[in-house]
Chains A and B, each alone.
Chain A
Amino acid sequence: MAEPSSFEARLTQAAEISTRLKKAIGTVLVGQAVVVDQVLWGIIAGGHVLLEGAPGLGKTLLVRTLASCLDLQFSRIQFTPDLMPSDVIGTNMLAMEQAGGARSFTLHKGPIFGQVILADEINRATPKTQSALLEAMQEHAVTIAGKRHVLDEPFFVLATENPIEMEGTYPLPEAQLDRFLLKVMVPNPTEDELTEILQRTTGHEMKPPEKVLAREEVLELRSLCRDVAVAEPVMRFAARFVGASEPGRKESPELIRKALRYGAGVRGAQSLILCAKAVAMLEGRAHVSFSDVQNVAMPALRHRLIRSFEGEADGITTDQVVAELVKTVPTRPEAVEAAVKKG
């Protein structure tokens, strides 16, 4: 990637790269444009993404295709109930030197030592194994036998989970979920999309997509994303948005007070701003708008909200709660909002 001469040129280039990447993914994956966009936000913002959807919707295919498009080291971990933490992070193995017959421990790196990690069906592993990911996801490092090993950047985990077949699964604990920047729901394809899927998958095997993004370019995009400006009122809006998700607050909407036990918290606010920056950057803007924050609210917050018993009993989903927040939390001060509407 050529060094852009100015910030604006870099922004334009970032937008072009994003278009290219989406196009490359589109050669393999049919539809799911929103899912691709959201995954892209996660990668650019430097976070991990949890993909949830029924089997066969292309979750794994998306991650594999993405890894193919990025010139990064790809690892796949198929989570099963008998998967051990060491299977994820690796372990020290006793090895015998052939010459002298001396024995020593050598590090056998687990699949976590990749750059794009596909944690497939993450909810099938035991919490113990799931927790093995915690340090890696948060610190971008693992500790094996007391020795800390820093993982190569860029590092991101793309986990998938299946909302059906819940028997024998271990729902991710809140602390684990919180590590994911975004939770992306993979919808069922439309009739047109399904028709095209059938055309592509029932013929000859297709060629893998070409690599469109090098490691440096990914790092550059992440850096550029951090440079995007956010005005104080927009930050305040994000804070107000997350604050309104706290059921204990008087100013929170009635639905939130009724349906939630815990709100989004600090990580939620951070993910809102980071993802909004990514959105702004991919649209070629050097600043974040209120609508950027509102657009990313759903994938950024839906997995951070913990429903109350009443909410669960009434079947209120966290998506409904976020939609309510988008509807009710004002962007501008009341007087300004009124003037904008009257004008």
Chain B
Amino acid sequence: MYNLIGAGLIVIGAGIGLGQIGGKAMEGIARQPEATGKIQTAMIIIAALLEGLAFGALFLGK
């Protein structure tokens, strides 16, 4: 029961985080379209780190 609530919290947190990353990256690209490549790379790395954390927590809480 509690681990299910925990899993839900993890997913909510990860969702907020991913939204922030994606949104800010979009803003950055809109401001400086010539830096698209660099912003995308950084975005993917941070998203991957966040995802790793979320999966790790889900995995441990399973």
Q: Do A and B come from one complex?
A: no
Binding site for B on A (CB under 8 A): none
Binding site for A on B (CB under 8 A): none
